[in-house]
Amino acid sequence: MESKLKKLDSIAKLDYNGYQKLVKTSWVDLVGPEEVGFALVEGSKLPWKNATPKQKEEQPMLYLGPISKWKSELSGSKDLDLANYSYGSAKVVQVGKDIHVYMVPSKGKATDEKHLKNIKKALKKFKPRVFLEVVSELSAVESSGAEVSIDENTSIEDEFKELGQELQKYHTLTVKIKKAMDGANPADRQKLQIKYKQVLNRLKNLCMNWTEDILPHADELIKEDPGTTWAKIYQKWNAYFDKRQAAKEGKSDDVEGRKLEEERLYTKTLEDIDQFFTAIEHSDDLDTSVIDVDLMNLKTHLENWKVFVGNKESNYAEELKAVEEKMKQLEKEWAQYEPLLKRYNKATALLQAATEAGDTAKIGRFTKGLNQVVEQINNL
């Protein structure tokens, strides 16, 4: 087993039940040969045979550090427990020819915006492309409806039909979400805004597929419905993303384009806030770096939003002010909560060690200390 895993480029040769193409063979190139490597594999463990349905549905993004850190865990084991090296659980969804990986972080480094940017850039060069998004919970992520399966021998006609149906599906979903947002209360509206962004991301990638694969064959493929309907949906959303991108890059002062880009920036701050509160709710087994990164990302995205608006009038002036106030509130609350959470994590680890050792004296002392920390947290 050790010989199979000692090199990252050999991981792709193992049996991943159809997910081989999700394995990156050269992550080490991103951060240097002395640093770290990343890989996407099935389940909370690395199984050697068939994966369970749950393992196929939930997939962690794993961190494999220097071999000395996990080499000993390989000896005499059929499964390599990678929980200590995982950055979080994830869900894999197929969208057209591409793969979307949604990750809920349990450690902060992999979700650092500047670090994640390089990872995302590398993933998009995969065949098929892999798009990585950080989310607060997996239950809100819509599944593909079927197991991820990429067939490189698919005919252009089959791909045309598949992409067209996917475009129509997500176009219809945007209409439903927008309609639901009209009558929603502020909290639900923000949740729907985040959901809307996820759907837009899928539409954007479907448009990319269509531009590359279908457009060169448009005359022979698009002759009648539903093909003509799919083409119109593509044209609508491709123009939408072009307009938004032009505003983002400062190539256009188009009012609608600027509004679309500002909506995107606003939603990114909502995602950061949502992730912050979700992380707090699960803080009993959470690395505090996750919340640190959530706040750092919020600060970065808020600043990007303000820079984009510049001296022009904001299309989301009230929302911008509200996010600025929320940022100050969260920083203040986290400054009080973080040291207590670190004490809680330390006390929990000490109590667990004492329990495993059967040391009743320490169990009593550490239990008392843990209860004191919990009381302080509850009094915040």
* Residue-wise pLDDT tens digits, 193-224: 999 999 999 999 999 999 999 999 999 999 99
Per-residue pLDDT at 101: 77
pLDDT digits (tens, 9 = 90+) for 77-128: 545 555 555 566 767 777 777 777 787 777 665 566 766 776 677 667 666 6
The pair of three-digit structure tokens given for residue 43, joined into one six-digit string: 């389940």
- Model confidence at 291, pLDDT cuts 50, 70, 90, reads confident
With a CB cutoff of 8 Å and minimum separation 6, the contacts of 11 are 4, 5, 23, 25, 39, 41
Q: pLDDT digit string (tens) for 45-69?
A: 444 334 455 544 444 455 444 444 4
Of the candidates 113, 115, 134, the one whose C-alpha atom is nearest the C-alpha of residue 303 is: 113
Mean per-residue pLDDT over the chain, rounded = 76
- Residues 68-76, mean pLDDT to the nearest whole number: 48
Residue 341, pLDDT score:
86
- Report the SS3 class of residue 17: coil
- In the 8-state DSSP scheme, what is residue 129? -
Residue-level pLDDT at 49: 35
Predicted confidence at residue 131, as pLDDT, reads 81
Tell me the helices (H) and strands (E) count for the chain, helix number first: 13, 7
Query: What proportion of the chain, given as a percentage, has pLDDT over 70?
Result: 66
- pLDDT one-digit tens code per residue, 163-182: 999 999 999 999 999 999 99
Higher pLDDT, 149 or 359: 359
For residues 169 and 229, the answer to whether their CB atoms sit within 8 Å is: no
362-372: pLDDT as tens digits: 888 888 888 88
**Structural tokens at position 214:** 């279908």
Does residue 151 contact residue 164 with C-beta atoms inside 8 Å? no
When pLDDT is cut at 50, 70 and 90, the band that residue 270 belongs to is very high
Inform me whether the pLDDT recorded for 9 exceeds 50. Answer: no
Q: Which of 32-46, 137-151, 240-254, 262-276 is least confident?
A: 32-46
In the chain, the percentage of residues whose pLDDT exceeds 90 is: 40
Would you state the pLDDT for residue 54? 52
Q: Which of 194, 203, 131 is nearest to 163 (CA)?
A: 203
Domain boundaries, the chain: 2-140, 156-335, 336-378
Predicted confidence (pLDDT) at residue 284 exceeds the cutoff of 70: no
pLDDT band at 232 (very low <50, low <70, confident <90, very high): very high
**Per-residue pLDDT for 133 more than 70?**
yes
Q: Give the global pTM.
A: 0.76
Which residue type does 335 have? A
> Which residue in 232, 210, 235 sits closest to 95, CA to CA?
210
The larger pLDDT score, comparing residue 34 to residue 308, is at 308
Of residues 259 and 293, more confidently modeled:
259
pLDDT at position 313: 94
Lowest mean pLDDT among 15-24, 259-268, 327-336, 342-351: 15-24
* Residue 150 pLDDT level (bands cut at 50, 70, 90): low
Which pLDDT tens digit goes with each residue over 294-330? 899 999 999 999 999 999 999 999 999 999 999 999 9
Residue 285: the pLDDT is 63
Give the C-alpha separation, 239 to 13, whole Å: 41
